[in-house]
Amino acid sequence: MIGLGVPWLLYTSFGTHFKPYHGLRNEGIVESVIIMGTVCLFFIVPMIPSGFVLYKWHGWVFIGLYVMYLAFVIGQVYLQKG
For residues 45 and 65, the answer to whether their CB atoms sit within 8 Å is no
For residues 59 and 43, the answer to whether their CB atoms sit within 8 Å is no
Q: What confidence tens digit (pLDDT) does each residue in 7-63 have?
A: 888 888 888 888 887 777 777 778 888 888 888 888 888 889 889 898 898 889 889
For residues 12 and 21, the answer to whether their CB atoms sit within 8 Å is yes
Stated pTM of the model = 0.59
Of residues 26, 36, 41, the one with CA closest to residue 69: 36
